[in-house]
Structure 1
């Protein structure tokens, strides 16, 4: 009897052992895939995440602010076009 253990026949031998926890980072991928799916290959960073959350919050806040100002402005109104789409238009006359 020999001391070496042989793998069972019919099963491939793993030539490369991946460290646990690397996930998709350990897969072979093209540079284009890595650029397009950047967040899959970068380790989480709390500072970058907090900056992104702040930037996204400011963007949404600005959009809501512009929407509020457009609705509160008495010189604009929502008009229904002939093709049944709605647009915001400025009033042409103060009598209307």
Structure 2
């Protein structure tokens, strides 16, 4: 505590203190900064855009794999009496 705080007087807020929003302006320990770097690192829009495109492509690829697997489920390889192989859709005995 400084002598001005012990007298009950507050120091005026400096203009520089207001320009650092969030946790960047708060005094913290080095351990806290090492454990939570995302609170103190400035956002990088280029990296965010690359990450967003990558995540979108991954989700699209998983959706594509799911759709093609669904289509392959109904097909099987059948063999004719003369030995030729062909793909045939599964049918129910109830149809």
Gaps of 5+ in 2: 76-89
Alpha-carbon shift at residue 75 of structure 1 (Å): 5.6
- Give me the CA root mean square deviation: 3.5
Deviation per residue, 1:30-89 (Å, 9 max, x gap) = 43x43553332111212111111111111111111121122111268xxxxxxxxxxxxx
- Compare the two structures and name the one with the higher helix fraction: 2
Compute the TM-score of the two structures, normalised by the length of structure 1: 0.50
Deviation per residue, 1:4-41 (Å, 9 max, x gap) = xx88x535547x9735233212221443x435533321
Gaps of 5+ in 1: 1-5, 77-93
Q: Does the alignment pair 1:50 with 2:25?
A: no
What count of residue pairs does the alignment treat as equivalent? Answer: 70
Q: Does the alignment pair 1:10 with 2:39?
A: no
Rg: which structure is higher?
2
Q: Distance in 2 between matches of 1:95 and 1:22?
A: 65
